[in-house]
């Protein structure tokens, strides 16, 4: 796997890349300590058999520049990914996004649909977020850096109780790695995923709810939505909400699975993703 740091203008993104074929960007979730390769550790090799797999650390995470625009986080992430496409001389690419990364992918597709060939979304953020109270899992995620601050115990409880269906699936090494990444002083000083506050908080929340965006009804990008039936962070009903609005959307609800479809059901995810991305635009 090739590793590089790419300057996208106002910041730098760490990127890992492997494989040959049509380009596919894998966009990771926004949990504490997340990064691109760690989020897709069970998927990269399988997808690289047919695709050029590009795995960035999103702004605020891993080895990329820290900090995300709190007034429009989805837009800021989408802009960073679009600039990455520019720097890689890619007119368009497939996007695969989990949670926060799914929201970034969807926002990029809505803003510039010509840059996205096909899109796979796993439990994306921003689906009906202003129409119901946040889930308990999302509240735990957003409060990780609050109160007494981050701790390994707090992170372990979140991952094992809310992120996955079967806690035994998560080895201690995953908790340890993510905890160490989550306490990077730059991240603690400016967490990349937090509850909007201040005078623009309501406007930010509305901007982060895709169900209020009329462009959803005419987005031409073929989309596959994968959602764990036992997702305790983002409600599985969001999958049907997307299928009802997007004109070219397939929906697969995955039984006995939480928020990490690509990790918990890696074989299923790899097969569905590989086959779906091979279709025409």
How many Å apart are CA 43 and CA 46, to the nearest integer? 5
Q: What are phi and psi of 68, to 5 degrees?
A: -135, 140
pLDDT (tens digit per residue) in 117-168: 999 999 999 998 878 888 999 999 999 999 899 999 999 999 999 999 999 9
Q: What is the pLDDT of residue 195?
A: 75
Q: What is the pLDDT of residue 230?
A: 98
Q: What is the pLDDT of residue 194?
A: 78
CATH assignment at residue 181: 3.40.50.1820
How many Å apart are CA 238 and CA 176, to the nearest integer? 31
The more confidently predicted of residues 199 and 237 is: 237
| pLDDT above 90 for 4 | yes
Phi-psi region of 51 (alpha: psi -120 to 50; beta: other; left: phi over 0): beta
Domain range spanning residue 85? 2-277
CA R_g for the chain: 17
pLDDT (tens digit per residue) in 40-69: 999 999 999 999 999 999 999 999 999 999
CB 39 within 8 A of CB 98: yes
Stated as kind and residue range, the H or E segment containing 267 is helix 266-277
Query: Catalytic residue positions?
Result: 259
- Residue 179 has which token pair? 């905890």
> How many domains is the chain built from?
1
């Amino acid at each position: 796997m090739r590793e590089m740091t790419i300057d996208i203008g106002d910041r730098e993104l760490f990127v890992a890349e492997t494989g040959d074929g049509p380009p596919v960007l894998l966009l990771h979730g926004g949990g504490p300590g997340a990064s691109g390769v760690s989020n897709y550790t069970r998927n990269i090799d399988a997808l690289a058999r047919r695709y050029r797999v590009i795995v960035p650390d999103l702004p605020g995470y891993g080895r990329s520049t820290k900090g995300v625009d709190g007034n429009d986080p989805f837009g800021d992430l989408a802009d960073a990914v679009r600039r990455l496409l520019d720097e890689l001389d890619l007119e368009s690419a497939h996007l695969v996004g989990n949670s926060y990364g799914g929201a970034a992918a969807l926002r990029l597709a809505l803003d510039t649909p010509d840059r996205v060939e096909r899109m796979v979304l796993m439990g994306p953020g921003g689906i009906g977020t202003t129409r119901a109270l946040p889930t308990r899992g999302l509240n735990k995620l957003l409060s990780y850096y609050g109160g007494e601050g981050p701790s390994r115990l707090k992170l372990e409880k979140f991952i094992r109780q809310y992120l996955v269906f079967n806690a035994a699936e998560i080895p201690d090494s995953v908790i340890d790695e993510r905890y160490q990444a989550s306490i990077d002083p730059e991240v603690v000083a400016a967490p990349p995923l937090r509850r909007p506050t201040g005078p623009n908080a309501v406007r930010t929340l509305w901007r982060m709810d895709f169900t209020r965006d009329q462009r959803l009804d005419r987005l031409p990008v073929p989309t596959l939505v994968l959602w764990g039936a036992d997702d305790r962070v983002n409600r599985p009903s969001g999958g049907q909400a997307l299928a009802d609005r997007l004109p070219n959307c397939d929906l697969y609800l995955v039984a006995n699975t939480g928020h990490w479809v690509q990790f918990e059901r890696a074989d299923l995810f790899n097969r569905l993703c590989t086959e779906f991305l091979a279709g025409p635009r």
